[in-house]
Amino acid sequence: MNMRKIILFLLLILCARVVQAQKNIVLEKMRCFSATGITMNYFKDEAIRKTIAAQLSKTLLQHHHLSLTDTSTLPNIEYLNSVGNLPPVDLAFTRDDSRLHLYIDLFEIEPSTFFAYPDNIPGDTTIKERAKSVFLIKGSLINSDKTIAFSEQLNVVVSAAETQSMGIVYRYFGGDGRLRQIVTPPKAFMELFKAATNILFNPANQLEMVEIKASPAYFAENFIIPNIFNQPKIFVSTIKNISTYNYAGSAEMIRLGPALYEEVMLKGKNPQKYPNDITTAIKNTAHYAGSDFVFLRQDCRDVIRDKNYLLKLTTQVDPENMQMAPFTFTNFLTGKFHYLFQEKDTIARFNILKRIPDESKKLYPNRISNGNDTSFFTVSTANPEARVTYDYVATGTIGNQNFTIKCSGFTNTVKEIYLGNKLICIAQGKFSPEKFVVFDASLSPELLNQLFMIGFNRFFE
């Protein structure tokens, strides 16, 4: 009798072990491709592989009562150079009746390529406009006899999330000469992978496409992120040219109108009268006789204070030095011949310079930042350092104070604003502010609005 109990006990242990073994799964292979050429470098970092493996095991346990046999890393990652004419996965595993076998494909595709196929166009067509990248992720669970137990694919459209991050969005020129963008820093990428696989492996999921918002990746640098680190960010909502934000305990609203043009009439049958200083400067400009001169105008309004402003910039259109649009009107007249008026009063006069290098400001193209802190991720050993060149630098006087606005980032998307030599604000955005940090609590909202009217004008292309 005792022997029968012992045998029964041993059989129960054996059955329990078999059931437990059947709950295990082996990650056989992961194929990766990125149109950016850099995102998949994250998988070459051991800490990232370990984090993703552990999270993947939790997801499989939740949805399929399976767990990876090894959560210490992601083995057998194959990095592809292309996904065109991709062969099927080679199921080259040794027969094992106690385990399932997992295969994952993760391909990052440019939105223009993905949405070029009519079948990929979603019902919400605005997703195409928001898309920064598209990830195609496929997961397959294969039985020991090489039949398919589960196989699903999910298209993940990545759009930008509103976050505390600021900086210069990470872009680079690929081997084909095209400008490309990395859409997520490593931590955001791991969160994206976690969210995507949770949807993919859910047997109840019926979705073929989802949109996931993620924080963008930024260049590591030494002049924006170190200043904004741990500083409160002020977010701006812009609807129909009206930007609204809260500052100094109150709501602020500024309207930045459309671009307008006014020809300077110094020649011809009906010449106009202008101030002597600007008339003299124009006539002394190289190629004066063959050039046209234009006032670039933008009406602005401080809504809360019920004050109207006019931004007026003077530019030369020189056929002998013509640039392709949209830069035709950015040949600004040298000198303080650019103005901000409040009704008939001149609020600001300033000079505008283009392509101004600064040896003290550095970008680090081989490192990625999350735009929140000074932690970086190294993606390559090439191009460790690059000098910053400002797209535009506006320098002059506003009221009785000297000011400087320095515009950097790709296509003028970051503004550093100085009063005297003191940095008082860093703002993100091109033609309207998106978010900003103020470093001087004594800065008045009215003065800040006036500086925004200058820095976010429609003519700084």
pLDDT, tens digit (0-9, with 9 covering 90-100), for 80-95: 988 888 888 888 776 6
Q: What is the DSSP string of 208-255?
A: SEEEEEEPPPEEEESSSHHHHTTPPPEE-EEETTEEEEEETTEEEEEE
pLDDT at residue 323, as a whole number: 57
CA–CA distance from 286 to each of 14, 75, 94, 157, 272 (Å)? Answer: 93, 65, 78, 51, 21
> Quick check: 396 pLDDT over 90?
yes
> Quick check: 193 pLDDT over 60?
yes
- Per the DSSP assignment, residues forming a β-bridge with 154 are 137
Single out the residue of 461, 459, 336, 344 nearest to residue 404, CA to CA: 336
Structure-block tokens of residue 54: 């552990």
> Quick check: 152 pLDDT over 60?
yes
Single out the residue of 154, 136, 151 nearest to residue 83, CA to CA: 136
CA–CA distance from 27 to each of 34, 48, 140 (Å)? Answer: 21, 16, 10
Q: Give the pTM.
A: 0.86
Single out the residue of 113, 116, 157 nearest to residue 137, CA to CA: 157
Half-sphere exposure of 327 (CA within 13 A, CB side): 11
CB atoms within 10 A of CB 179: 9
pLDDT at residue 177, as a whole number: 62
pLDDT at residue 458, as a whole number: 95
Distance CA 253, CA 236 (A): 10
Distance CA 436, CA 248 (A): 13
Structure-block tokens of residue 85: 């004419």
What is the amino acid identity at position 259?
A
